[in-house]
């Protein structure tokens, strides 16, 4: 599909973008995934110290659980949105609002301790439109709220869009589509529109397989028709 390197850690996907000077990583996954993460780096012939930046899609423990260990290992800078900074710095997760039968059933049964992570002080805090050119990547980070207030995405010049939890696929949903967990529905639709306007072609999500942007376009068109 593209030059995006996909590290499948099981429940959560981690992605890497390569440049002449190193790599930019998107999310870290759970803390207990570190061994698998290191094996996948080795498989892809990537040295930890080659990773120069870690971008956090949003502050939920399945995205930030291994952040402290990964930062210490790689010495990479950490980038988050302003609305997620406090959560990452304190090692807590943003509010969770389940909306599907499965998530409404499972989330209340999870111990609160599961949502705790090791605190990490972010190095770069953004509001919107952050260029990755200083890291050798022709791409930018944009604010795409909805799943959480500070959810962010990366869109490359070639149209690869790493959007994290702006959409969900199995196992959180039977089919790829609207997130099973979110704080504001209207914000998600607007974020979808922006992702498309920014030239997205290939969509990479945190839970599920990549797909073409046509799926998002069809769902947006169906929603507008229904209004």
Instruction: Assign 14 to helix, strand or coil.
Output: strand
What is the predicted pLDDT for the residue at 2?
A: 54
CATH dotted code for 5-226: 3.60.15.10
Instruction: Name the residue ranges covered by the structural domains of the chain.
Output: 5-226
In percent, how much of the chain has pLDDT > 90? 83
Burial of 213 (0-12, 13-18, 19+ CB in 10 A): middle
What confidence tens digit (pLDDT) does each residue in 65-79 have? 999 999 999 999 999
Question: Considering the chain, what is the average pLDDT of its residues?
Answer: 94
| Residues 145-149, mean pLDDT to the nearest whole number | 96
Look at the pTM and tell me if it is higher than 0.85.
yes
What is the predicted pLDDT for the residue at 1?
A: 39
- Enumerate the β-bridge partners of residue 16: 5, 25
What confidence tens digit (pLDDT) does each residue in 17-36 have? 999 999 999 999 999 999 99
- The closest of 9, 222, 15 to 132, measured between CA atoms, is 15
Which of 79-88, 113-122, 130-139, 147-156 is least confident? 113-122
CA-based torsion, 211, 213, 219, 222: positive or negative = negative
pLDDT surpasses 50 at 109 = yes
Read off the pLDDT band of 106 (50, 70, 90): confident
């Amino acid at each position: 599909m593209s030059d995006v390197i996909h590290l499948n850690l099981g429940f959560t996907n981690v992605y890497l973008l390569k440049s002449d000077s190193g790599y930019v990583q998107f999310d870290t996954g759970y803390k207990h995934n570190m061994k698998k993460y290191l094996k996948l780096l080795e498989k892809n012939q990537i040295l930890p110290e080659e990773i120069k930046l870690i971008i956090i899609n949003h502050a939920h423990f399945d995205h930030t659980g291994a952040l402290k260990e990964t930062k210490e290992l790689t010495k990479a800078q950490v980038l988050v949105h302003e609305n997620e900074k406090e959560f990452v710095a304190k090692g807590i997760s943003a509010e969770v609002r389940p909306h599907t039968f499965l998530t409404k059933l499972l989330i209340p049964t999870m111990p609160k301790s599961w949502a705790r992570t090791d605190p990490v002080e972010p190095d770069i805090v953004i509001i919107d439109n952050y260029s990755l050119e200083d890291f050798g990547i022709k791409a930018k980070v944009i604010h795409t709220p909805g799943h959480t207030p500070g959810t962010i995405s990366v869109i490359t010049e070639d149209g690869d869009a790493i959007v994290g939890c702006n959409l969900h696929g199995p196992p959180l949903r039977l089919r790829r589509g609207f997130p099973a967990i979110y704080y504001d529905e209207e914000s998600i639709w607007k974020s979808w529109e922006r992702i498309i306007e920014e030239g997205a072609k290939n969509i990479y999500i945190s839970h599920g397989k990549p797909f073409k942007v046509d799926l998002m376009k069809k769902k947006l068109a169906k929603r507008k028709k229904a209004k």
